[in-house]
Amino acid sequence: MISVRGLSVGHTDRVLLQGADFDVEQGDVFVILGGSGCGKSTLLRHLIGLETPRAGSIHIAGIGAPRLRGTAPEYGVMFQSGALFGSLTVGENVAFALQEWTDLPEPAIDAIVKAKLALVGLEGAEDKLPAEISGGMKKRAAIARAMAFEPNLLFLDEPSAGLDPVSAAQLDDLIMVLNRALGLTVVMVTHELPSILKVGKNCIMLDKETRSIIARGDPRELGRTSDDPRVRQFFAREAA
Amino acid sequence: MTFPSVAKIELNDGGLEPFGDGSPESFGGRGPESFGDRIALSMRAPNRFRWLLGGDGDQLTITLGGTFSIDEAAALWRRVSEALESRRKPASVRIDLSDVGSMDGACMALLVHLRTEYGKRRVQCEICGGSPELRGLLDLHGRRRLRLRSRRKATDAVEQVGVATIGVFSAVVHVLDFFGELVLAAFTALRVPRSLNLRDVGLTMERAGADAVPIVLLINFLTGFVMAFQSGAQLERFGANIFVADLVGLAMVRELGPLMTAIIVCGRSGAAFAAELGTMKVSEEVDALRTLGILPLRYLVLPRVLGLMLVAPALTLLADAIGIFGGVLVAAVSLDVTPAAFMTELRQVMVPWDVISGLIKSVVFSGTLGIIACQRGLATSGGAEGVGRQTTSAVVISLFSLILLDAFFTVFFGALTS
């Protein structure tokens, strides 16, 4: 589904990751993890197409850069804070891409919006403004918006960040349902260990010091089998 | 030498402090110690702390006792400052916490600061003693420093000028890039009208146009009023009262009506656009738009710029009319020029091009303001502070551009009509 070769990413004055190679298979729940400041979210932004790599290539379903060319969305994205459009209701947020890119009549769009909100447990919240709902609800609404155009691929940036344990667990369950029931490929950035171990099928771990991928594989195995002390420390939640 | 258990004495610096038992033992057997020529005192009072100096040879021992909380932090800080300012430089310092009952993080932070400052002066400083809780608190406040990458700043004047020049060119390139993409978006909207976000065009026309009418009327009325008042006094000296109509009328329609309206639009709508788009940028809403296949310039910028350009002529005409009315009022009341005479004179001197040129200016001004404000908004980074910075930048650059454009039009129209 996603093929990354020789990727270098960073900001204007520094490199965060260099020479990265990895693949995301269809149907995977792929987790990008690592300590704070190691470039997880920056890597995700490059995969989405919001930023241009310094070097290397990213192909999604065989299509390379540039993406986000002002065409119909090929994949869904949920940003860390939800990034719902504040002047639109939850329903209007979810309907946005459908109104822009389809010729569906309004009643059909309404029906799809209701179904998407029901999928994420927000049925009845169509007329609420983003300022009127909680952080967890915003994230679920953002997932509903990302799902509205029936993508095969979903990018999630820190889905559990800032949520209480119950809401975080509910969001993890939702991700698992989307993956298993709909066959959705999920790429997520997180450093929440419970989420990683619960939903992750495959992962890469980034390291700030070496600016490289220092581990890859099943997150449930890595913590036990890795020879790298940094990896074991991360999974054991130990201070350096 | 002993001191009374409770008494007040005047310190060398004129300060008054209550103190308690200050036996010689508290001074390590060496008698009174000076903090930079002042006598160190033992302070004991309910809920106050003890700061006792002692030591042998080149080692200074600071024995602390009592309760340390945020209420005592100011007094503790004075002791810490005095120790650091003291001319005496020991070879080593030992801070003993054995007699400390409790201490909060603020006071511990001050002791860690004292240790750090001694370290910078190559004086070995050790904090010892104390309960396991105090040791834990000390570990918490004396952790490894975060290694931050320092940004190298330009040092000499030449380098600063160079960096600033590159910054200006870079900003110009960004603006030209932005303008080019906006023109492309406009052509796309012409080809596919459905792609234009008409809802935001209407909203912009309402907020920048209809909602701005009261303030446009007020400010331009006052502008015409003041101009007639000031010029009338001079014209009256030469018996040329009637020419107040020429002055106010032509100045309003050619210059002040478009300019004052543009300034009002800049302050109201320009700042609002920059803040709105800047907030959307920092909250990732602009990124979310892109992931939904929507180009921000087409969806966010074009409707706002178009809305401003559509309402500008209407606002300017209103401004011209009310400004002239202000002049009519002053002329009638204080210059003995009747409204009929005023308007007759105005009709004689004013030609359609005077009004048309003013309207052309107003459209160009508004379009420019809109582009600058939106560009600044979409260039925002750095949270709330960034939004404030770009909003200010949008207003300042817009005002500067207005004056520049006005000067250009003055010369251009002047050449056209000559």
Q: What is the 3-state secondary structure (H, E, C) of B219-252?
A: HHHHHHHHHHHHHHHHHHHCCCHHHHHHHHHHHH
Whether residues B89 and B116 share a domain: the answer is yes
**B246 occurs within a structural domain:** yes
The CA distance from B179 to B173, in Å, is: 10
**B179 occurs within a structural domain:** no
Whether residues B235 and B97 share a domain: the answer is no
Whether residues B120 and B162 share a domain: the answer is no
**B96 occurs within a structural domain:** yes
Total-model pTM: 0.75
Query: In this predicted model, what pLDDT tens digit does every residue of B236-277 receive, in sequence order?
Result: 999 899 999 999 999 999 999 999 999 999 999 999 999 999
Q: Is the CB of B292 less than 8 angstroms away from the CB of A100? A: yes
Task: Inform me whether the pLDDT recorded for A7 exceeds 80.
Answer: yes
Q: Give contacts of B294 with chain A, Cβ < 8 Å.
A: 70, 100
**Closest to B290 (Cα-Cα) out of A77, A222, A106, A140:** A77
Whether residues B136 and B164 share a domain: the answer is no
What is the residue whose two structure tokens read 């007329």? A127
Task: Inform me whether the pLDDT recorded for A30 exceeds 50.
Answer: yes
Whether residues B212 and B254 share a domain: the answer is yes
Nearest CA in chain A to B284: A83
Whether residues B164 and B126 share a domain: the answer is no
Mutate to test the interface with B, among A77, A98, A99, A150 (most CBs of B within 10 A): A77
Q: Sheet holding B124-128: strands in order across?
A: B49-54, B59-68, B92-103, B124-128
**B340 occurs within a structural domain:** yes
**B16 occurs within a structural domain:** no
**Residue B214, domain extent:** 157-169+187-417
Whether residues B231 and B344 share a domain: the answer is yes
Cβ neighbours around A12 below 10 Å, total:
5
The CA distance from B300 to B378, in Å, is: 10
Whether residues B123 and B246 share a domain: the answer is no
Angle (CA) B399-B400-B405 rounded to 5° is 95
The proportion of chain B whose per-residue pLDDT surpasses 90, expressed as a percent, equals: 48
Along the 418 residues of chain B, how does pLDDT read in single tens digits? 333 333 333 222 333 333 333 343 444 444 444 444 333 444 444 447 888 888 877 888 888 998 888 888 888 888 888 888 887 788 888 999 998 888 887 888 888 888 888 888 888 888 888 888 888 778 777 655 555 555 566 678 898 888 888 888 887 788 888 988 898 888 888 887 777 788 889 999 999 999 999 999 999 999 999 999 999 989 999 989 999 999 999 999 999 999 999 999 999 999 999 999 999 999 999 999 999 999 899 999 999 999 999 999 999 999 999 999 999 999 999 999 999 999 999 999 999 999 999 999 999 999 999 999 999 999 998 889 999 999 999 999 999 999 999 999 999 998 887 7
B64: left (phi over 0), alpha (psi -120 to 50) or beta: beta
**Beta strands A202-207 and A212-217: pairing type?**
antiparallel
Q: Is the CB of B291 less than 8 angstroms away from the CB of A72? A: no
The CA distance from B244 to B242, in Å, is: 5
**B124 occurs within a structural domain:** yes
Whether residues B295 and B404 share a domain: the answer is yes
Q: In this complex, is the C-beta atom of B284 within 8 Å of any C-beta atom belonging to chain A?
A: yes
- 8 A C-beta contact, residue B327 and residue B224: yes
Q: Is the CB of A79 less than 8 angstroms away from the CB of B287? A: yes
Q: Of the candidates B285, B291, B298, which has its C-beta nearest A68's C-beta?
A: B291
DSSP E strands in chain A: the ranges are: 2-11, 14-24, 29-34, 55-60, 76-78, 153-157, 185-189, 202-207, 212-217
The CA distance from B347 to B3, in Å, is: 98
**B61 occurs within a structural domain:** yes
**B387 occurs within a structural domain:** yes
Q: What is the CATH number of the domain that holds B55?
A: 3.30.750.24
Nearest CA in chain B to A240: B144
The CA distance from A74 to A83, in Å, is: 18
Whether residues B97 and B162 share a domain: the answer is no
Whether residues B333 and B386 share a domain: the answer is yes
Q: In this complex, is the C-beta atom of B203 within 8 Å of any C-beta atom belonging to chain A?
A: no
Whether residues B91 and B192 share a domain: the answer is no
Query: In this predicted model, what pLDDT tens digit does every residue of B8-56 receive, in sequence order?
Result: 332 223 333 333 333 434 444 444 444 443 334 444 444 478 888 888 7
User: Cis omega before residue B132 (within 30°)?
Assistant: no
The CA distance from A78 to A194, in Å, is: 19
Nearest CA in chain B to A145: B292
Backbone angles phi, psi at A63, to 5 degrees: -100, 130
The number of domains in chain B is 2
Q: How far is A99 from chain B (nearest CA, A)?
A: 11
Q: Which amino acid does the sequence have at B5?
A: S
Task: Inform me whether the pLDDT recorded for A62 exceeds 80.
Answer: no
